[in-house]
A and B are shown apart, each in its own frame.
Chain A
Amino acid sequence: MLTYTIRRLLMLIPVLFGMTFVVFFIIRAIPGDPAQVILGQQATKEAVAQLTEKLGLNDPWYVQFFHYVKGLLSGDLGESLRSSAPIKDEIWPYLAATLELSLVAMFIAIFIGVNAGIISAWFQNSWFDYVAMILALIGISIPVFWLGLMEQWAFSLELGWLPSTGRENVRDPVEVVTNLYLIDTLIAGRFDQFGEVIRHLILPSLALATIPMAIIARITRSSMLEVMRSDYIRTARAKGMRMFFVVYKHSLKNAVIPVLTVIGLQVGLLLGGAILTETIFGWPGIGRYIYEAIGFRDYPVIQSGILIIATIFILINLIVDLLYVAIDPRIKYN
């Protein structure tokens, strides 16, 4: 187990290094000059040339790459070209915003998805089963950005129930400590703002949760069905144990593995797929941060941003794999 973990962690290194390399080249292949964009339309040719030199963009690619990687190894993510701020200072608020949104979305997806899956399996072929599974099918087929637009239109423009953009009531902000506003409002003891933060989270997190929710519901249902047909559940039922207890205790434990896999994969989608959701709901998250950086050709920001997302994604999947063992001793590692 320990050797497996270590091996997996070691395997991370070539992947992340390769990725850094790939990103480094892809973004430099994009036409457009960072210096020109930073200086704007009015800039003179001389000013652009001067800035290009100053930003080190005239150095040969291997020098630039070496500098960047050397920085990375000493924990330096580089400096943003456009704001000249160190990325490690700049990135956390964005990352926190995305994490907050993704975690809430994941929570919704798991909570609703797993329960809907269980109930569907439990009352197989009932109307609930049909409706839930049809909704789940629609859920995996709906374009998130369209769903987001429709939510915004219905619940905020037409009905006016929920705010359409942002993270908090800006008029009365709470002091930022962690940048996770759910926590910050609690630290400040501001329960009114805590409620506001939740209200702001509902629409974007629902949009973001839809696909994982649908997938989790479907997987939970099918693995539950499989488990419920097994002998020991039948025996348990025959023994007259309370059905509810049977379902939740025994079956869930067995159904948890495929669900876990899905969760691992979906976290990656949430982190990256948040770009569209973040754009529509004005959420200052990391997806938008990177997307905007592409517009500015802010090379270090794109590189480090993608690197961080990928690292999180890979680590989460590692944790998921390790959890398998903890949950199901039948699983072996090769």
Chain B
Amino acid sequence: MKRNSSLFVSILVVLTLLLTACSGGNKEKAVDKSETTEPKAGGTLIYGRGADSIGLDPINVTDGESIRVTHNIFETLFVYDDKLELQPKLAESYKVSEDGLTWTLTLKQGVKFQDGTDFNADAVVFNFERWMDPANPYHKGDFPYYPFLYGGFKGDPNHKIASVKAVDASTVEITLTEKTAPFISYLAIPMFGIASPDAIKKYGDKFYEHPVGTGPFKFESWSRNDKVVLKKNENYYVDGQPYLDEMIFRVIPDNSSRLTALQSGEVDIIDGLNPDDADTIKANSQLSLIERPSFNTGFMVFNTQMAPFDNVKVRQAINMAINKKELIDAFYNGYAEVAKNPFPSSLWGYNDEIEDYKYDVEAAKKLLAEAGFPDGFKTELWTMSNPRPYLPQPLKIAEAMQANLKAIGIDAEIKTYEWATYLQKTGEGEHPMALYGWTGVMADPDNFLFPNLSNTNIEKPASNRAFYNNEEFTKLLQQARVTFEQEERIKLYKQAQEIFHQDAPWVTIGHTTPPMGLAGYVQGFNAHPMENDNFAEVYLTN
């Protein structure tokens, strides 16, 4: 038996070693956070993020990680500030004609691209031509956002732009084919960054690897799935800016590893923090925590054309059965507002008079009984397997909701699919209930409501994944689209939200305010609600 026992003892020793190692703690040195008011030039900032950019030509990408980088290389004519207000950027001002069709933009003067060429009206025209004309020799790529906003490309029957002309070096005249109230806000979408015509001509379809814009940082190098390096644009038109010499976007796919990298000083800013790890950052005197203002909604759609979810009482009952507050406290660690409307309160038109369904198991059971299901029923709850900005822990949310549903007798089996499959299957309406969400790209309620809830979008593959079909509701949205007076639009959207509340095609869950971790010496950083962070004003105090 001697051999046996020695084996056991050895295993025990290893286990004990592992276990005792558990009890060790993190040791941190307290450091005084020297608050300097004067921005200081110099240094390298490393941003740790979860995924790599797909390309660096903003007009040809749709993912946030690409835009995060390009937004610092390229600038748009207008820009949304941190408060979601429109501000001029490369343009100085605009005028719109009486008929609302001709828009005259006055451009900033003395701006140069990073390759030394001039930014002027011709450059703007060149960019528009490249974006909109499939026959243009530099129209290489997919340009996904262009037809999304302007109804198609040049030559398509619904194309909204009639002409783009340079009146003089600093004046551009854009003529539209129909009245488009939010035209200026289209120009603020970061995909429409103005690129250097010379660079586009030089690099052709390799432009996505050699981006040249007017922004505070110029592109240096990109090693895929690892890092993108940007260098200071010495000739940036704002005096003294940017303060940083260098900016590196580093990919660390795993959330916990990214936090570790921040703690050990390998990176200076991280996003995609696990909500539960926020406390780790708070407890660390060398780090600081900021919350990104919310601009998204996480929700669960009912397939309203599938029994029993075609019954409004069932939907309302489930709305009462989900303990949103507890979900958010546990799995967002509080880094989310409880959602009662389809879009966040930071956006105009939000209807705060709506009273959310109260968490009430008894009332929910009663309503379910009224709907004809006193003993509940069996169904499926679908979820995507990968975290999304609006649902940082989709599987866990699903598990907790499953327990909530169980309490009113609904036996929901969880089904997970990874993102691509999920988009397809939910678009085809195969789901009874499915977690979903939306991140806004424009500060306009239409961007949240129309794709997700209008009955013009229920034809499969549908973007209205609740297959919510309410003519009155859709009419309100359509009316708001062609209305110019802001007050009137707000009224229409508020009305729409009331109908939405009554019909309960979703269980709205939360608007996340994703926490980010910063090293204490990073100053001047403002988290942009749409994640269009600009690092021109960021400086380091170490």
Contact = CB atoms under 8 A, between A and B. Distances in A.
Nearest to B425: A31
B296 to A, nearest CB: 11
Given A33-B423, A170-B227, A176-B223, A158 B266 contact: no
B254 A54 contact: no
Contact of A93 (B26, B226, B250, B419): B226
Task: Give the size range of B's interface with the partner.
Answer: 35 or more
Nearest to A291: B253
Contacts of B205: 84
B153 to A, nearest CB: 9
Contacts of B261: 163-166, 282
Interface stretch (B108-116, B141-149, B345-353): B141-149
A32 B420 contact: yes
A281 B226 CA distance: 12
A94 interface: yes
B463 A45 contact: yes
A39 B257 contact: no
Contacts of A284: 223-226, 251
Given A83-B54, A83-B208, A93 B224 contact: yes
Nearest to A130: B6
B248 interface: yes
A152 B63 CA distance: 30
Contacts of B451: 42
Contacts of B226: 93, 97, 166-167, 284
A295 interface: yes
A117 B463 CA distance: 61
B147 A47 contact: yes
B225 A156 contact: no
Contact of A295 (B7, B248, B420): B420
A36 B420 contact: yes
Contacts of A130: 3, 6-7, 10
B252 A282 contact: yes
Contacts of B441: 42
A51 to B, nearest CB: 6
A41 B438 contact: yes
A134 B54 CA distance: 46
Given A82-B54, A165-B260, A297-B420, A93 B252 contact: no
A166 B264 contact: no
A45 B267 CA distance: 39
Interface of chain B, main secondary structure? mixed
Contacts of B225: 93-94, 284, 288-289, 292
Interface residues of A, number: 63
B209 interface: yes
B223 A42 contact: no
B21 interface: yes
Contacts of A297: 420
A136 to B, nearest CB: 12
A246 interface: no
B264 A164 contact: yes
A11 B31 CA distance: 65
A157 B418 CA distance: 30
A43 B424 contact: no
A160 B423 contact: no
A36 B424 contact: yes
B419 A295 contact: yes
Interface string B147-169: 11000000000000000000000
Interface in B203-259: 205, 208-209, 221, 223-227, 229, 248, 250-254, 257-258
A282 to B, nearest CB: 4
B416 interface: no
A296 interface: yes
Nearest to B209: A85
A297 B260 CA distance: 31
Nearest to B158: A46
Contacts, number: 169
Interface string A299-318: 00000000000000000000
B421 interface: yes
A222 interface: no
A138 interface: yes
B461 interface: yes
Contacts of B227: 170, 173
A26 B218 CA distance: 42
A158 B260 CA distance: 10
Find the residue from A90, A97, A288, A295 having the highest chain B CB count within 10 A. A295
B321 to A, nearest CB: 27
Contacts of A296: 420
Nearest to A164: B260
A236 interface: no
Contact of B148 (A32, A47, A85, A93): A47
B62 interface: yes
Contacts of B24: 158-159
B364 to A, nearest CB: 30
A301 to B, nearest CB: 11
Contact of B55 (A32, A83, A176): A83
Interface string A256-285: 000000000000000000000001111010
A7 interface: no
B14 interface: yes
A201 B173 CA distance: 57
B11 to A, nearest CB: 8
Interface in A20-70: 30-34, 36-48, 50-51, 54
Contacts of A34: 420
B144 A31 contact: no
Given A38-B142, A51-B142, A54-B142, A131 B62 contact: no
Contacts of B257: 152, 164-165, 280-282
B44 interface: yes
Find the residue from B224, B250, B252 having the highest chain A CB count within 10 A. B224
A31 B417 CA distance: 10
B252 A165 contact: yes
A36 B418 CA distance: 13
A165 B49 CA distance: 12
A51 B7 contact: no
B386 interface: yes
Nearest to B45: A171
A32 B384 CA distance: 13
Contacts of B51: 292
A150 interface: yes
Given A30-B420, A42-B441, A295-B419, 11 more contacts: A31-B420, A31-B424, A32-B418, A33-B424, A36-B420, A44-B148, A82-B54, A94-B224, A130-B6, A163-B266, A164-B264
Interface of B: 3, 6-7, 10-11, 14, 18, 21, 24-26, 44, 46, 51, 54-55, 62-63, 141-142, 144-145, 147-148, 205, 208-209, 221, 223-227, 229, 248, 250-254, 257-258, 260-261, 263-264, 266-267, 386, 417-425, 427, 438-439, 441, 451, 459, 461, 463
A-B pairs with lowest CB-CB distance, top 8: A32-B420, A40-B62, A284-B225, A284-B226, A282-B252, A164-B260, A32-B421, A31-B421
12 contacts: A31-B425, A38-B62, A41-B423, A42-B441, A43-B144, A44-B147, A150-B18, A166-B250, A166-B261, A173-B229, A279-B254, A295-B420
